[in-house]
Structure 1
Amino acid sequence: MARLAAFDMDGTLLMPDHRLGDKTLSALKRLHERDITLTFATGRHVLEMRHLMGTLSLEAFLITGNGTRIHSLEGDVLYRQDLAPDVAEQVLHTTWDTEASIHVFNDTGWLTGQDIPALLEAHVYSGFQYQLTDLRRIPAHAVTKICFCSDHDDLCRLRIQLNEALGNRAHLTFSAVDCLEVLPVGCNKGSALAVLSDHLGYSMQECMAFGDAMNDREMLGSVGRGLIMGNAMPQLMAELSHLPVIGHCRNEAVSHFLTHWLDTPDLPYSPE
């Protein structure tokens, strides 16, 4: 029996309209009633996640910013890591060969230099918004992560540039097909979940985790039971081909799997 359950948000718990379905919410509450600790492991900002947790009346630990922050049930910071200032400086002040928009995250929120209303659609239910600012004026010591948003082919070309420039001074990952993130070295959801598990006195074998994108790879590959969404990125399915695929987020596949796991754990699971 798992003692800690970790969930990605976008493309996993959330349906394509960025809403948490009633069946999913009910299944999460059933886990809580079984004394299984919940944690939400997401690229979203802690300010947004706190708001969502309040509206959903859920009690969970928060792994946010793709592992750059961990917060307790009470909202205390258990772990934090920012980009090295020289990395943030180089990424923000280099002219990259890309069409991507640039987005900076720190403890104040989400900062960008371009007004792109379409990006707010993913945050419609929380009301979380970006702040327009001159990114070159942001202090380099106060940058948690940097995101580039564009089409996937453009971001793949950009990733080559970033790898050549940054080497092993940063961790690069796709949090979606159209979002490439620059994170601190060693920062990912898997390493953050290991920190949280140790804090709670659990082993990683006592954890289950759900995800759909490459930023979930380390987390899914390091827990006792990793589960991949049917709508997952092909690269994730290819790299973790030994893990089961449970179904699509549009059908609330997480709730379907959890209901089966709680009620009929000895029977084989069939995706919805």
Structure 2
Amino acid sequence: MKYSLICTDIDGTLLDQNKVLLPQVKEALKKEADKGVKIALVSGRMPAGVELIEQELGISCVKVCHAGSYILLGDQRISNKYLPAETLEKVYNTIAKAHGLQLWIFCEETWYVTGIDKFIEKEIVDIKQQPIVVDIKDLVEQWKKEGKGPNKILLAADPEEIRIMYQEIENYNWPEIDYACSADTFIELLPKGINKGEAVCEICDRLGIKREEVVAFGDHELDIPLLEVAGIGIAMENAIPELKEKADYVTKTNNEGGIAYALENYLAK
């Protein structure tokens, strides 16, 4: 097939389990970029975390951040969508506070938290960014005045607690929220209708690329809409079963350079 855009999730897909970009993956994507294929990093990460990987790749990429609610084309911001500020307080009081958890809050280039825990400490190391500790009420009042809100809210916990909270969010059925897991320890809450698939459609419209010319790689629930809109959707071997069912092809794991393997063996044919 002819493809013009490669879209890849970062954690669990592009990077191995130690958050390392393997040399064969970097080289394979560089070869595609040299042929004129556009590369999009489509991630739940904040912009600084995505830019870190762009720099390591050494390729100018489209950057889909906050799981689709914040998109950068080069240095130009082409999409910026918020949850209502009031939703932040609601999620904090009914879910995070009830479970004794810290809330992660993302707005544009900034990462806020309600406190520091082991999950936040790990993220600080992974993306080399320090969050700002805030009072929820103060932040909500500030954003109401500014007409802003979070691009994304994240809950981090051990897998069993994540499953419980996922069900609670499902039961609340909040009309302004879409949600999905990006790992077995993360639930990401987004503005209604925002997901990685919609973000890729927006990029295709901007760049004049047909959806059937898109190749997408992913590993978790957050990547399901991404694979659904792509001409070719490729799941990593380490992906959840639900994503593999949506995929046209299952490549090797992220630890085995699965993206490089697919580009050199499957797509080359």
Q: Same fold (TM over 0.5)?
A: yes
Q: In the superposition, relative to structure 1, how do residues 148 and 25 fare at CA in structure 2: closer, same or farther (>3 Å)?
A: same
Between stretches 249-258 and 131-140, larger displacement belongs to 131-140
**Preserved contact between residue 70 and residue 80 of structure 1 (Cα < 8 Å):** yes
Match of 2:161 among 154, 163, 166: 154
Rounded Cα–Cα distance in structure 2 between residues aligned with 1:98 and 1:118: 15
Q: Distance in 2 between matches of 1:151 and 1:143?
A: 24
User: What TM-score, normalized by structure 1, do the two folds share?
Assistant: 0.88
CA contact (8 A) 2:236 2:258 kept: yes
What is the CA deviation profile of residues 101-145 of structure 1, one whole-angstrom value per residue up to 9, with x for unaligned ones?
A: 321111242211222255443553641232222233223533111
Aligned-partner Cα distance in 2 for 1:126–1:153: 25
Alpha-carbon offset, residue 186 of structure 1: 0.6
Give the match for residue 199 of structure 1.
206
Aligned to 2:91: 91
**Match in the other structure for 1:29:** 30
CA contact (8 A) 1:104 1:135 kept: no
Q: 1:214 aligns with which of 221, 225, 238?
A: 221
Separation in 1 of the partners of 2:94 and 2:259? 41
- Equivalent residues of 1:208, 1:226 under 8 A apart: yes
Name the SS for the 1:163 alignment partner. helix
SS of aligned partner of 2:251: coil
Contact 1:212–1:228, Cα closer than 8 Å, also in 2: yes
Q: Tell which deviates more after alignment, 15-24 or 162-171.
A: 162-171
- Per-residue CA distance 1:197-230 (angstroms, 9 max, x = gap): 0111111111000000100000101111000011
1:80 and 1:153, CA in 2 relative to 1: closer, same or farther beyond 3 A?
Answer: same
Q: CA deviation at 1:258?
A: 1.2
Tell me which amino acid in the other structure corresponds to 2:32: L
Q: Which residue is 1:182 aligned to? A: 189
Q: Which residue matches 2:150?
A: 143
What does the per-residue CA deviation read over 1:247-269, in whole Å, with 9 as the maximum and x for residues that have no partner? 1101111111112246xx33xxx
**Structure 2 CA distance for partners of 1:258 and 1:80, relative to 1, 3 Å:** same
Deviation at 1:88, TM superposition (A): 2.5
Give the alignment's TM-score, normalised by structure 2.
0.89
CA distance in structure 1 between the partners assigned to 2:36 and 2:57 by the alignment: 18
Give the root-mean-square deviation of aligned CA atoms: 2.0
Counterpart of 2:241? 234
Q: Is the 8 A contact 2:95 2:165 kept in 1?
A: no
Displacement of 1:21: 1.1
Matched, 1:260 2:261: no
Comparing 187-196 and 49-58, the one that deviates more: 49-58
Q: 1:123 to 1:207 in 2, by over 3 A?
A: farther
Cα 1:56–1:208 shift into 2, 3 Å: closer
In structure 1, runs of 5+ residues without a counterpart are: 267-272
* Structure-2 separation of matches of 1:131 and 1:210: 32
2:174 to 161, 167, 172: 167
Change (3 A) 1:114 1:181: same
Please list, as runs of the form range in 1=range in 2, the aligned pairs for 1:43-192 lying within 5 A after superposition: 43-73=44-74, 75-94=75-94, 97-122=98-123, 124=125, 126-139=127-140, 140=143, 141-192=148-199
Work out the CA distance in 2 between the residues paired with 1:201 and 1:216. Answer: 22
Structure 2 Cα separation of the partners of residues 235 and 100 of structure 1: 28
Shift of the 165–107 alpha-carbon distance from structure 1 to 2, 3 Å rule, reads same
More off after superposition, 29-38 vs 229-238: 229-238
Amino acid at match of 1:21: L
Tell me the CA shift for residue 63 of structure 1.
0.6
Instruction: State the alpha-carbon separation in 1 of the partners of residues 242 and 101 from structure 2.
Output: 21
Where does 1:3-42 land on structure 2 (aligned, <5 Å)?
3-42=4-43
> How many angstroms apart in 2 are the aligned matches of 1:254 and 1:123?
26
